[in-house]
Structure 1
Amino acid sequence: MYHSVGDCSDDPYRITVSPDRLEQQLDWLRRRGLRGVSVADLLAAHSRGEGRGLVGLTFDDGYADFADNALPVLRRLGFGATVFVLPGRLGGTNEWDPLGPRRPLLTADVIRRLADTEGLEIASHGLTHVDLTLADDALLGAEIGGSRALLAELTGRDVRGLCYPYGTVDRRVADAARAAGYGYACAIDPGPLTGTFALPRVHIGERDGSWRLLLKYRLGGFRRRPVTLTGAGPVAAAR
């Protein structure tokens, strides 16, 4: 789980990695025979029994620096990824963060171009980055279903993935994601809800060098205990 890729000098939430550090981290995967792919490609490979050696890479919030700083690294290594964007804030900034600098978000034109890039998946992060577990039914429907419809219209492609803002999810929100037509949804540490509509992820930051990456990679499996959600079978969550 990545977020912004750029200047780390003012980063109170530790969500930014520098381009050089990103390349070091992804090269660490490559040297171990692992390949970064989108979550959709990872799940499809798992369903065919071909998921070994694949790592799902995600970039949350749709920061503009993904196109400038992350995409060139992914291309050099031949990796794919999923970019979770906010169609209600296209070309805006991360106004939901009370601290730190305002970071520009991807525009509609750039998202269309990214959607046509081989190996990249454009998926939803909701409309405006709100905690969905606190949303009433009307807002929940707009954030989940409305964002999927807008992204499909923008990209001309089916939108299969959703990422819950702040990683927060409960059964009501997970069931809403399934009912809206998504194929999967990502959280962070969903606990007993872990499954296709609450996939756990590991946060990666600027401080994660080789030893920290190894620990996160080795220990990650202990945090993943797949269970069955309503209407969805268990899934081995991506590392």
Structure 2
Amino acid sequence: MYHSVGDCAHDPYRVTVSPHRLDRQLDWLRRRGLRGVGVGELLAARARGTGQDLVGLTFDDGYADFVAHALPLLRRHGCGATLFVLPGRLGGHNAWDPLGPRKPLLSVDGIRQAAAEGVEIGSHGLTHVDLTRADDALLRSEVRDSRALLSEMTGAPVHGFCYPYGRVDRRTVEAVRQAGYSYACATDPGDLTGPLALPRVHVGEHDTAWRLHLKHRLHQLHHLHRLRRRPVERV
């Protein structure tokens, strides 16, 4: 789980990775015989019984620096990714982070450029609100309308959703299901399991090769524990 790729000098929310660090992290994956791909591609491979050498890479929020810094590095290392964007904030900035710094978001052209280069485009909602606290009308709009706008924008179906702030509950999962998504990513979905409550590993500027190795192992153990639990009804 990545967010911004750029200057890390002022990063109170730890959402930024420098281009140099991302380059090193992608190199670490490739040296281990792993390849980063979009989540949709990863899930399709797993459904076929393959994909043991694949790792899902996600970039949340749709920062403009994705095209400037992340995309060339993904291309260099032969990797793909899923970019979760906010069609209600096109060309805006991350106003939901009160401490800043202000980071510009992708415009329509930037999203289309990423899609044209093979990046999977997913929805992060319309405006980055906590959906677990939204009323029913706002929840439906954030989930359903964002999918329709992105599909119209890219000319392709949108299969993936990412819960803002990583927060999810049964009501938001059901809204995502009804909107027609086939998968959704959270951070740590707790007791929720299944394709609409996928956990992810946060990757930051301080994640060296050794820290990545530890996170990878801990995630594998956590995943095995989740597999042993009974899936929540309809999730």
Q: What TM-score does the superposition give when structure 1 sets the normalisation length? A: 0.95
Amino acid at match of 2:231: T
Secondary structure of residue in 2 paired with 1:194: coil
User: What's the counterpart of residue 136 of structure 2?
Assistant: 137
Deviations along 1:98-157, whole A, 9 cap, x unmatched?
Answer: 002100000001111211212x10000000000000000000000000100010111111
Q: How many residues align?
A: 231
Superposed counterparts of 1:78-227, under 5 Å: 78-118=78-118, 120-224=119-223, 225-226=226-227, 227=230
Residues 13-42 of structure 1: per-residue CA shift (max 9 Å, x gap): 111000000000011000000000000000
Q: In 1, are the aligned partners of 2:191 and 2:232 still within 8 Å (CA)?
A: no
CA distance in 2, matches of 1:84, 1:55: 17
Question: Structure 1 residues 65, 101: closer, same or farther in 2, change over 3 A?
Answer: same
Counterpart code for 2:86: L
Equivalent residues of 1:62, 1:86 under 8 A apart: yes
Q: CA 1:182–1:230 in structure 2 vs 1: closer, same or farther (change >3 Å)? A: farther
Matched residue SS, 2:40: helix
Distance 1:183 1:231 in 2: 13
Contact 2:71/2:114 (8 A) holds in 1: no
Shift of 1:222: 2.4
Give the gaps of 5 or more residues in structure 2. none
> Does structure 2 conserve the Cα–Cα contact (< 8 Å) formed by 1:17 and 1:206?
yes
AA partner of residue 145 (structure 2): G
TM-score, normalised to structure 2's length?
0.96
Query: C-alpha deviations, 1:170-209, integer Å up to 9, x for none?
Result: 0110111011100100001012102200100000000000
Task: Give the aligned partner of residue 70 of structure 1.
Answer: 70
Q: CA deviation at 1:229?
A: 4.3
CA shift, 1:230, in A, is 4.1
Following TM superposition, where does structure 1 have runs of at least 4 consecutive aligned residues deviating by more than 6 angstroms? none
Gaps of at least 5 residues in structure 1 are: 233-239
Secondary structure, aligned partner of 2:176: helix
Classify the secondary structure of the residue corresponding to 2:75. helix
